[in-house]
Amino acid sequence: MKFLAMTLIPYAPDPVTGILQSTTERLRSVVETAVLTEELGFDGYGVGERHERPFLSSSPPVVLSNIAARASTIRLFTTVTTLSLLDPVRAYEDYATLDHLCGGRLDLMIGKGNGTAQAELFHVTTNDQWERNRESYELFRRLWREDKVTWSGQFRPSLDEAETWPRPLQQPVRVWHGSATSEASVELAAKWGDPLFSANVTNPIEPYAELVRYYRERWAHHGRDPKEALVGAGSAGYYCAKDSQDAIDTYRPVFEARKEAFRRQGLPIVFDSVEDAIERSSALIGSPQQIVDKVMRYHDQMGHEVLALNSDGAGLTSAQHRATLELFQSDIAPALRKQVPSRDLAIQSKPPPPDFSLPGGAEHPAAVPDIG
């Protein structure tokens, strides 16, 4: 099994101290956590995309570019990038650039997004978000693969032999499809032979496992080898301590703060207490062995090879935050890696040779050696 630490960059007072970091401090803490997860041996670090309170994750490629400058080996993920809101040409340009800056360590995870701000800021609603996501992705994947693209669709201006620069380093880039509530994302992933990442956060496992089963069915329907289907899954929170009661007591204020935030936003409260969340949700709270056992129970239903866990340190001291991530790598990850074989996250790709030609056959000045 491979392990991905991730954040949506929530921005709120600490549930224990009440201290609110400055925006600058909060964003820099994300970069420092990413560097820490690389040091500890996580396989990937992901930054999500939200466009409303209480999140600071409106620009994942900018944050990931900063991480790329500080961390040299860990793979970088978008968890997720909301293609339904973005011009796929601009999204391509941002992520192809990032692909070069991180040395081909980029994985994309796409989704339609959620939240009322989508309608207010982008005029994307529940009536068209799925179709926008599909159209944007199908153009995006062509832009990544083809030097010139002719295309027409419903939601952006048409393209006629359009070139996009820079050309990417990875060919292709792996694109995961985030899945939470609808078969639409699942079908899109299966249709194109892409991996699926189950959100697995808000509810008990049953609806998520059902969508994963549907993905595998549609994968086979499209004539693909069932062994090649690749699934990842999220988790609703993480805190591990050697003593399980210590873990529960430490995480309790984090859970209560999250529950209160849901209440203020008018969202349903699915789990009444931290004990209920540990029992019925994907939250990984407890001793190392308890967490290993729980992940394996979920794996029995999902068959996932990649696990994402929340890397935020809300409610924890710096020492506690580091200690629980260290404990994951020392006591949890080795057991799960042994029990769940997994494929390499990096796609073996051979980038095309650079093309220095300009329209009309002229050479780009950069291609001509300066011999004085």
Residues 6+ away with beta carbon under 8 Å from 172: 141, 144, 145, 347, 349
In which band, very low, low, confident or very high, does the pLDDT at 368 lie, cut at 50, 70 and 90?
very low
pLDDT at 172 over 80: yes
Q: Taking residues 290-301, what's their average pLDDT? A: 98
The structure tokens listed for 126 are 């529940």
Sorting pLDDT into bands at 50, 70 and 90, what band is 32? very high
List helix spans (H) across the chain. Answer: 23-40, 60-70, 88-101, 117-122, 129-145, 183-192, 205-221, 244-264, 274-280, 288-302, 318-327, 333-339
Comparing 79-88, 106-115, 314-323, the range with the smallest average pLDDT is 106-115
Q: Are 247 and 320 contacting, i.e. CB atoms less than 8 angstroms apart?
A: no
Q: Which tokens is 103 given?
A: 């040395």
Instruction: Encode pLDDT of 352-364 as tens digits.
Output: 445 544 444 444 4
pLDDT for 348 = 66
Type and span of the H or E element at 6 = strand 2-7
Cα 205 from Cα 199, distance rounded (Å): 10
Domains of the chain (ranges; CATH) run 2-367 (3.20.20.30)
Report CA dihedral (291, 321, 47, 191) to the nearest 10 degrees. Answer: -10
Give the pLDDT band (50/70/90) at residue 366.
very low
Residue 367 β-bridge partners: none
State the average pLDDT over residues 120-132. Answer: 91
Retrieve residue 48's tokens: 């999500």
Mean pLDDT, residues 52-61:
95
The predicted model scores a pTM of 0.92
In whole angstroms, what is the distance from residue 352 CA to residue 340 CA?
34
Q: Is the pLDDT of residue 369 over 50?
A: no
pLDDT of 216 > 90? The answer is yes
Band of the pLDDT at 143, cuts 50, 70, 90?
Answer: very high
* pLDDT band per the 50, 70, 90 thresholds, residue 249: very high
